[in-house]
Amino acid sequence: MHTKPKSPLSSWTSLTGCVLAVTLLLDAALSLNGLVPEQAALFPNAVAALESRASDVLPPGIALAGFVSGIALALTVIMLPMHHVYRSREARLLQERERLAAQNARLVHQAASDGLLGIANRREFERVLKLEWRRAARERQPLSLLMIDIDCFKLFNDTYGHQAGDTCLRGVADVLRTAAARPGDMVARYGGEEMVVLMPHTSVEGAMRMAERIHAMLAERALSFSASPVAQHVTVSIGVSSMLPVRNANRSVLVQQADEGLYTAKESGRNRTATMPNLRLIAPEEEPSLGSHRAQA
């Protein structure tokens, strides 16, 4: 037996009837509970007819509960997709924020690093030196610095070429990173073939031991340099400076004394370490202000 399919017109009529019926029931329920004035009812005659039978057919409490339940259901149907959309958008925003944070971290690292050697650049060294100087002054701990220069590096470039010179610089920087592996130690490129190692909480004796270790590791690495007048491998000269920093003192003295030690090491024949015998704790130009501060204290 074949059933005749319903026409679109009959389906539309049925849907319209359902909508009108639901509207009538809601309007009647609201009018019965006083939520909508009788004059404002959409179908006042229908509402009046229902009122006479409302107590038997649809008690007011049940009508109100049904109405509230319908509103809650409608809100749930509307808000649930919106919640899913919000959660999805929030997840995308979180991923984008993490991506931007990682990109920003990479940019900060690139700005603080030497592109060739992969160690800190001079700007980052000066920033960290300022922080470590203040910390050492606050904790009353020594701060040491090694100033390192590759011996006869110009001759190395002239002999092997600039690409080999870059390889030599990277090799020395790798040795310094391996030697200065303690937390807090910092290896940086100061300029050209000069590098520095900043060592917090390190006395002059500890700095000298670090310099000896660098010499030994370079000799073990044996980067070939047959034209060198010093040795058959790449060598470095090292100047050592160690101080007990004082707050508001001139931290550049630490660098100046390490540079003076480096000059002495080069003048003494290279491939060695030198330090200034008399270590000044503060810069001369800072003494008057520090003295007046102590007098006030």
Domains of the chain in start order, with CATH, are: 9-112 (no CATH), 122-288 (3.30.70.270)
What is the maximum alpha-carbon separation in the chain? 119
What's the pLDDT at 278? 47
Structure tokens at 237: 């000269």
Structure tokens at 144: 């040491």
- Going by C-beta distance under 8 Å and a sequence separation of 6 or more, which residues neighbour residue 135? 141, 200
Q: Are 220 and 188 in contact (CB under 8 A)?
A: no
Rounded to the nearest 5 degrees, what angle is found at the Cα of 131, between the Cα atoms of 264 and 118?
Answer: 70
- Residue 251 CA to residue 239 CA, distance in Å, equals 16
Task: Determine if residue 271 is left, alpha or beta; phi over 0 gives left, psi from -120 to 50 gives alpha, anything else beta.
Answer: left
Q: Are 156 and 224 in contact (CB under 8 A)?
A: no
- Cα distance from N-terminal residue to C-terminal residue, the chain: 112
Q: For the chain, which ranges sit under pLDDT 70?
A: 1-75, 77, 109, 277-297
Q: Are 258 and 129 in contact (CB under 8 A)?
A: no
Q: Are 271 and 236 in contact (CB under 8 A)?
A: yes
Q: Are 146 and 240 in contact (CB under 8 A)?
A: yes
Strands of 151-235, DSSP E: 186-191, 194-200
Structure tokens at 152: 């006869």
Q: Which residues participate in catalysis according to the annotation?
A: 193
Q: Are 47 and 27 in contact (CB under 8 A)?
A: yes
List alpha helices for 33-59, DSSP H: 44-57
Q: What torsion, rounded to 10 degrees, do the Cα atoms 260, 264, 266, 272 define?
A: -110
Nearest Cα residue to 187 out of 202, 204, 174: 174
